[in-house]
Structure formats: structure tokens, C-alpha cells
């Protein structure tokens, strides 16, 4: 026994010494790594120069987002980009380039290979409008691509010339919204779903309780798609001198066109190989001094860095706060809007005397009713002390609309998805699934409704009636708040509510938004309302966790997964299933009541 204790003690001491040594080495490597990357980042920023006769390049394979989630650890350590660019920096760069004599043209580069893009059409609309301002200044825009999807073509159609690879194609086959339904799978495995709702069109729960669109959901989705497709045809048609009817004919007859067919239908201007495109760009700008095989250029990311350094240094601030993702109770995770964390950010902006106006940028399908109301309360308090302007992005619906009310003005793009004023309650039970696998429950209780929140059985008629009453009350509160904030009769709000989703252009007609415009318009209006003139500076919230913090967490044992860029069709579908089911993680409202977009709307 004594020998065993000696061996155990020796082993323990050895392990501790080994861990100490490993920790010291790890800390040293961590310090060296962080120092090296910071030095590299600093050096790269210092060397960014804008040469005369430069062409501003926009990589179409990058996603444009409201708030950059920051680099993953792998990307930071490898010196890679995270393939996203913030909308505000894109708009600032394009507008600055419009007036910058060193920038002679913009190149929309789609020749670097396809990546999965999450850029929404309302975001693209805003970028497209900025590009139109650039072109109106007399400067050229040239676009090149190999296989153009609808997003690429929507943006590229604003160019003076569209070039396409001779082996390329253009996808212009119209819009679709394809939704997964899990009723049969849930029935098969014994998962019960009970949905209570208010609003004819409040169909979010149908993805769990039905096996196809309800008639109301199908009608609503069809009308919304028609509006968005109509905006696409009008915008593209105006730029390419094509009628909406001719674009519809192309979509109905072929949808996917070869380069030759695209040329015949005036969708593009000519075919070209990459070397021919480079030669054309070199005629405009000259050869790159370091790389004679290329042209004189600067990426929009690098140019945005140069522009930001020249920003006004003022003590008077306009804060842009991003509400991006599903709304959940509590603090929320990255990619979510936590009711408590967002309310805290708004509260701090209210108390900050240097912040003279706030722009709330909403890109959310909604979520928890409680969290939405907590956020809205802070918006109301904030608006009493300083101007609050809402800028709606791709989606600002249901809870996303709830938090947008009580602002001085609401801006939305014509193809923004908004509205969805309705309420649902969702409860899951696992009785059949458990029973099939030999699991049962029993309960001892002091009152009839003590176990009303159980997952062990379906709810009783009395419990369903109580849930319905709660949903009815929250819906009535929703109507009252929209009526009060938007200065609309409650009866009119009730008529346009019902969970109905509207495009931004239709929402303006019925009084749910004030004006058609983007983030830049909202910021300009905020400055005007706060009477700041040109003496103000922009600040953005919330702060994004940098790779340094992620690196420290990684050393502490946390996990971070990197999304796949390319998947085979089967894997892609399985990932969609996982994504659909992951929505369940956002169902954390303590009352199980949600103000959520009726369907998990995806536009393809």
C-alpha cells in the first residue's frame, strides 16, 4: 500500500509539473502568436495606399452583412478573410469613391469562384442604389462573372458593361420559397406539437404541425414573392432596357441561360475570358506596379479602411445599433438578439450624453414576445430623450416589427420583408416517443394545473384555452402598441395585421413604415433630426468579439465550428434540416409565446 501511495504521489506531482510546463509553453506561444498577428494587422493597415487611376473592386463571392461576426480562429491564425463585408463600410466606400478623383471605376468581380452567399435582396438593393449614384457621377462600372445567380445579376445589372465567361451562365428563373414540414416525421417518432395562434396568416407553427402550406400561408407567400419578383424585374429591366414582361418570358422559357443565350437576350454585353477582362481594365487604369499581369486596383475592404481613417473626429455621436438574428430571452448567443443584452445596450446609449441620435438597424424575423417587449420598452425610453430612427434590412417582421415601433421614423427598402403582426404559442410533448422506448412519467401535484407545462403529455382542453387566452391578450397588446406608435386606428391595424407579411413598398402604402430607403438614409435623417449638421461621428454597436477573445476561449476549451463553403446536394439538404431544427433552440420564451415570422422565409 505504501509503495502504491508513493507511485500515485509521484505520478500526481509529475502530472502537475507537466501541466505547468505545458501551460507556460502554451502561454508563451499564445503571446507570440497574438503579437505576431497584431503586428501583421498593423503593418497591413499602414501600407494601404490609394494609387492614382485605381479601380475599386467588389468581390461578389463575399457576403454583405449588417454586423461582421468577426474572424474565426482558423481564419485569424491563417491570415484569411472571413468572407463577409459590412454593409456600412461598402456604402461608405462607394460614396467616397464617387467623389474621389483617384478612383476611376468600379469592378464587380464574380470570377473568383462561387461561395455560399447570405446577402439578402434588400441589402443588395441598398448597395445597388449606391452604385447607381456612382455611375451617375460619370464613372464606369464593369461587371464580370462566370455563373451568375440571381443575386449576382441583380447587382451586376447596374453596370455599364456586363461581361461573362464564354462557358458561363445566367440564372434568372424567378423566385421561390421552399419550406420544410416536419409533421409526418414528428408523427412517426411520436413527438406531439400543439400550436395556438392569433392571425389568419400567422403560420410559423405550421412547419411543425402540417405537411404542406395552409391555403392562407400559400396565398400570403405567393403574393409576397410576386411583389419581390416584380421589384427585381423592374430594377433589372430599367438598367438593361428590358421590359418586365420580357424578363418574365425569359424566366418562363428557359430560366438558366448559357453565355450565348444571355448575349442574345441582352442580359450581358459580351463574352470574355479573364485575360481579356484584365486587358480591358488595364486600358482604364494601367498595369499594377507590383503585378504587371493585373490592373491598378484596390479592394473595397482596403478602401473602406482608408475612408474610415479620414472620418470626422467629433464628440457628438450617432449610434447605429444592430438587431440581427432571432429575438430570444436572456443574453442570447452570437447571431441572436438577446432581450436583456439588447435592452442594456439601448439603456447605455440613452445615458450616454455624447450620443445625440440612434439608428436601430433591424434584420430579424422576430422571436420571443417577452424579449421583444423588453427591447421595445428601452426603445420607447430612448426615443423620449433623443431621436431614434429605424432602418429595416432584409427582414424586420413580427418581433422585428415590434421593436421597430415608437421610433421617430421607419425606413425600409421596397423589397424588405416586414409586418407579420401576429402571435403564436408552441408546445411540444414527447409522450409517444418516450413510451415507444419504454419511458413513462408519473406525477404527484397539489392542484389541477400544476403540471400544465409538462412535456410528458398533450395539454388538456382547459390548458389549451388558457394558452389561447394568453396569446389573444398579447396580440391585443401588439395591436394597441402599433396603433399608438404608428398613429393608426386600432381597427385598421387589426385589418392589416393577422400575421400578414408585407413587402416594404406595400408596408409604406398601409402605414407600417414611413419611407423607402436604406441605412444611409436613416443615418442622414437622424443627423438632420438631431440638428447636428456635419459635426458628428458614427459609432456602431454592439461590439463584436474579436479573434483575440476567441483565441483565449479556445485555449480555455471552448469549441467553434466553421461552416462548410461547398457541399454535395445531399449534405446541403441535411444541413438545411439541421438549420430548420436549430430554430427550436430559440424557443426560450418563458411563456412559450412568440411573435415570429410565419414561415422561416428563405428566398431562392
Active site residues: 202, 398
Strands of the sheet with 192-198, listed across from one edge? 192-198, 423-429, 593-596, 366-368, 326-328, 336-338
Angle between helices 300-309 and 87-99 (to 10 degrees): 80
The burial of 587, by beta-carbon neighbours within 10 Å (0-12 exposed, 13-18 middle, 19 or more buried), is given as middle
- The most distant pair of C-alpha atoms in the chain lies apart, rounded to whole Å, by 93
130, 97 Cβ separation under 8 angstroms: no
| Cis check: omega of the bond before 542, within 30 degrees of 0 | yes
599, 203 Cβ separation under 8 angstroms: yes
User: What sign for the dihedral angle of Cα 459, 460, 461, 463?
Assistant: negative
Question: CB atoms < 10 A from the CB of 533, how many?
Answer: 9
Question: Phi, psi at residue 425, to the nearest 5°?
Answer: -125, 135
User: Which value, to the nearest 10 degrees, does the dihedral of the CA atoms of residues 58, 63, 67, 70 take?
Assistant: -90
In this structure, what DSSP letter does residue 377 have?
H
User: What sign for the dihedral angle of Cα 444, 447, 450, 456?
Assistant: positive
Query: Among 474, 457, 431, 434, which residue's Cα sits nearest to residue 592?
Result: 474
What angle is formed at CA 114 by the lines to CA 365 and CA 256, rounded to 5 degrees? 85
Distance between CA atoms of 467 and 318, rounded to whole angstroms? 42
Distance between CA atoms of 167 and 90, rounded to whole angstroms? 30
392, 517 Cβ separation under 8 angstroms: no
Q: Mapped to the 3 state alphabet, what secondary structure does 261-294 carry?
A: HHHHCCCCCEECCHHHHHHHHHHHHCECCCCCCC
Question: CB atoms < 10 A from the CB of 540, how many?
Answer: 19
Distance between CA atoms of 228 and 415, rounded to whole angstroms? 6
Query: Among 153, 174, 92, 84, which residue's Cα sits nearest to residue 126?
Result: 92
224, 171 Cβ separation under 8 angstroms: no
In DSSP terms, 366 is beta-bridged to 596
CA–CA distance from 566 to each of 110, 149, 571, 572 (Å)?
A: 17, 16, 9, 8
Amino acid at each position: 500500500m505504501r509503495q502504491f501511495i508513493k507511485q500515485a504521489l509521484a505520478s500526481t506531482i509529475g502530472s502537475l509539473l507537466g501541466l505547468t510546463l505545458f501551460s507556460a509553453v502554451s502561454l508563451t506561444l499564445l503571446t507570440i502568436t497574438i503579437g505576431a498577428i497584431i503586428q501583421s494587422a498593423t503593418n497591413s493597415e499602414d501600407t494601404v495606399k490609394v494609387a492614382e487611376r485605381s479601380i475599386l473592386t467588389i468581390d461578389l463571392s463575399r457576403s454583405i452583412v449588417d454586423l461582421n461576426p468577426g474572424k474565426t480562429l482558423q481564419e485569424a491564425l491563417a491570415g484569411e478573410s472571413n468572407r463577409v463585408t459590412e454593409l456600412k463600410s461598402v456604402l461608405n466606400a462607394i460614396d467616397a469613391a464617387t467623389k474621389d478623383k483617384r478612383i476611376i471605376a468600379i469592378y464587380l468581380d464574380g470570377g473568383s469562384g462561387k461561395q455560399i452567399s447570405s446577402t439578402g435582396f434588400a441589402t443588395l438593393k441598398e448597395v445597388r442604389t449606391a452604385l447607381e449614384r456612382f455611375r451617375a457621377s460619370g464613372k464606369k462600372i464593369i461587371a464580370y462573372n462566370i455563373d451568375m445567380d440571381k443575386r449576382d445579376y441583380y447587382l451586376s445589372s447596374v453596370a455599364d458593361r456586363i461581361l461573362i465567361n464564354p462557358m458561363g451562365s445566367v440564372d434568372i428563373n424567378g423566385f421561390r420559397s421552399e419550406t420544410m414540414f416536419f409533421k409526418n416525421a414528428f408523427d412517426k417518432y411520436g413527438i406531439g406539437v400543439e400550436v395556438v395562434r392569433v392571425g389568419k396568416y400567422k403560420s410559423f407553427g405550421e412547419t411543425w404541425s402540417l405537411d404542406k402550406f395552409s391555403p392562407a400561408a400559400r396565398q400570403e407567400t405567393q403574393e409576397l414573392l410576386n411583389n419581390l419578383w416584380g421589384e427585381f424585374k423592374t430594377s433589372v429591366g430599367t438598367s438593361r432596357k428590358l421590359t418586365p414582361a420580357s424578363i418574365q418570358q425569359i424566366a418562363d422559357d428557359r430560366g438558366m441561360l448559357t453565355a450565348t443565350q444571355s448575349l442574345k437576350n441582352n442580359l450581358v454585353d459580351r463574352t470574355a475570358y479573364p485575360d481579356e477582362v484584365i486587358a480591358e481594365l488595364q486600358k482604364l487604369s494601367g498595369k499594377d506596379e507590383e503585378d504587371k499581369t493585373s490592373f491598378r486596383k484596390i479592394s473595397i475592404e482596403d478602401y473602406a479602411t482608408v475612408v474610415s481613417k479620414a472620418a470626422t473626429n467629433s464628440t457628438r455621436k450617432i449610434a447605429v445599433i444592430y438587431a440581427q438574428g432571432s429575438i430570444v430571452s436572456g443574453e442570447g448567443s452570437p447571431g441572436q438578439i438577446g432581450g436583456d443584452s439588447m435592452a442594456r445596450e439601448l439603456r447605455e446609449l440613452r445615458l450616454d450624453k455624447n450620443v445625440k441620435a440612434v439608428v436601430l438597424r433591424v434584420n430579424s424575423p422576430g422571436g420571443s414576445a417577452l424579449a421583444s417587449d423588453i427591447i421595445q420598452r428601452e426603445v420607447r425610453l430612448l426615443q423620449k430623450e433623443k431621436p431614434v430612427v429605424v432602418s429595416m434590412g432584409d427582414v424586420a417582421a413580427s418581433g422585428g416589427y415590434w421593436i421597430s415601433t415608437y421610433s421617430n421614423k421607419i425606413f425600409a427598402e421596397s423589397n424588405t420583408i416586414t409586418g407579420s403582426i401576429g402571435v403564436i404559442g408552441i408546445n411540444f410533448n414527447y409522450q409517444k416517443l418516450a413510451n415507444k422506448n419504454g419511458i413513462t412519467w408519473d406525477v404527484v401535484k397539489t392542484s389541477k394545473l400544476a403540471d400544465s407545462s409538462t412535456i410528458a403529455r398533450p395539454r388538456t382542453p382547459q390548458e389549451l384555452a388558457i394558452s389561447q387566452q394568453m396569446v389573444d391578450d398579447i396580440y391585443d397588446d401588439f395591436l394597441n402598441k402599433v396603433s399608438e406608435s404608428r398613429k393608426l386606428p386600432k381597427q385598421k391595424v387589426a385589418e392589416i395585421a393577422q400575421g400578414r407579411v408585407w413587402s416594404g413598398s406595400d408596408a409604406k402604402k398601409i402605414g407600417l413604415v414611413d419611407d423607402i430607403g436604406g441605412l444611409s438614409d436613416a443615418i442622414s435623417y437622424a443627423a438632420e433630426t438631431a440638428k447636428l449638421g456635419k459635426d458628428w461621428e458614427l459609432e456602431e454597436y454592439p461590439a463584436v468579439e474579436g479573434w483575440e477573445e476567441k483565441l483565449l476561449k479556445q485555449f480555455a476549451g471552448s469549441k467553434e465550428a466553421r461552416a462548410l463553403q461547398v457541399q454535395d446536394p445531399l449534405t446541403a439538404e441535411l444541413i438545411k434540416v439541421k438549420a430548420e431544427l436549430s430554430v427550436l433552440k430559440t424557443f426560450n420564451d418563458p411563456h412559450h409565446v412568440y411573435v415570429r415570422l410565419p414561415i422561416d422565409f428563405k428566398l431562392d
